[in-house]
Structure 1
């Protein structure tokens, strides 16, 4: 409860806590590399604030890439069921979120190009919480439907190397790749 209150107060005190993220990615064979993301706090300030609050508190550390579709995207960020170190359940990964509330959509006129980072959500446009995805290829059919929060500026080769899931569902079998450490960058 205290951690949730601290996170919530942090969100209120600083809506845009950073300009980027550094994500260390590992898999079955160990380290794969680092992905650097430029966050668009001017485009999606509430989403960026939530992501940076979760990253600052270490909640993304150990979270798996639970849905990875070749030619489309790699999804991660389920801090409730996707943490390989705490509460991990591959069958539930992708159905959870954080203790922070859902975020109202912040759609923009930006396009879902290769390397763009978007927020995952359920059917409701205002249901994004902690999960996000990185585009392998352009997906213009997502434009105006999902909130764009940033873009990969370095390490797209690491993203390209993330273990793929089932061709249709994206469900990853065996041990999925994971974010070992997510750091907020200035």
Structure 2
């Protein structure tokens, strides 16, 4: 029997005891929002349809930008299960305020999984100069910033010249909206269950595989029905995922198209500077909310 809720449940209990602190993060400061509106067309990046996961729920739609650079095997598993319709109809069986919402269990009790083998952990990844990364802070010799829409921490670029493969370690940071894989006690036991962060929770960093981040629909994640007790199991009328698909697998006309402020743009650097200055010593990369535009693909026009 699987119990992918075990470790996360223990961390939730620590949070309740005040030993692990969750961080509440609001929207961008007014200055950041006004600057985003002034961004030029070239400051925006379109999320590739192959990396956009569309989760329809009874509460609304959640759009996740998957990060194959960070966790290629886990992203491929999510794609595989979404294309098979595995997630359709599954419940958000474990939802904890100030923490996360968990799903992906066909049994709905935290002990189910897909028929595929468990995955090896991808808690960290190797980064070289070809992987897009924009730093917003440099605490204690490290770099903190964004890989596309995902907040990450990594070793500095200068260390690339000191490694045999010319790469350095990096890992996703559990800010609000970040998507992680649930697992059992062993590191290499993730399978089909995943969770979306409702708030920041740094105690999970490098302990659970990060595979993407919510670019639209964090309000939906936070609206999901919460469970009772420390384990957060939702035993009565849980919310459900009605359909989960990779955007590239949906009909082109009408599929969601997501544009995110490009974290390699000058507009983003100005936004990050504004947020960092407004937060002062309390600044966290989780304070930066990337502006997003969501539309639908239209009927192609022929010549």
Normalising by the smaller structure, the TM-score range is: 0.7 to 0.9
**After the TM superposition, which residues 61-140 of structure 1 pair with which residues of structure 2 at under 5 Å, given as runs?**
61-79=88-106, 81-82=107-108, 93-108=109-124, 109-140=171-202
Aligned partner (choices 28, 51, 70) of residue 19 of structure 1? 51
Aligned to 2:101, the other structure's residue is in SS state: strand
After superposition, the CA RMSD in angstroms is 1.2
Kindly indicate whether the alpha-carbon contact (under 8 Å) linking 1:34 and 1:158 is maintained by their aligned counterparts in 2: yes
Aligned partner (choices 29, 45, 68) of residue 72 of structure 2? 45
Aligned to 1:51, the other structure's residue is in SS state: helix
The superposition leaves residues 13-46 of structure 1 with CA deviations (integer Å, 9 ceiling, x where unpaired) of: xxxx9302110111xxxxx210000001111000
Structure 1 runs of 4+ with >3 Å offset: none
User: How many matched pairs?
Assistant: 154
The whole-number CA distance in structure 2 between the counterparts of 1:40 and 1:51 is 11
The whole-number CA distance in structure 1 between the counterparts of 2:72 and 2:222 is 27
Kindly indicate whether the alpha-carbon contact (under 8 Å) linking 1:70 and 1:167 is maintained by their aligned counterparts in 2: no
Aligned to 1:144, the other structure's residue is in SS state: coil
The whole-number CA distance in structure 1 between the counterparts of 2:55 and 2:92 is 12
How far is 1:127 from its partner? 0.2
Structure (1 or 2) with the larger CA radius of gyration: 2
The whole-number CA distance in structure 1 between the counterparts of 2:64 and 2:229 is 26
The superposition leaves residues 41-60 of structure 1 with CA deviations (integer Å, 9 ceiling, x where unpaired) of: 11100001011100000010
1:59 matched to 2:86? The reply is yes
1:152 matched to 2:214? The reply is yes
The whole-number CA distance in structure 2 between the counterparts of 1:22 and 1:121 is 23
How far is 1:96 from its partner? 0.9
For normalisation by structure 1, the TM-score amounts to: 0.80
How far is 1:183 from its partner? 1.0
The whole-number CA distance in structure 2 between the counterparts of 1:185 and 1:24 is 12
Report which of the two has the higher share of helix: 2
Aligned to 1:18, the other structure's residue is in SS state: helix
How far is 1:167 from its partner? 3.8
The whole-number CA distance in structure 1 between the counterparts of 2:204 and 2:77 is 21
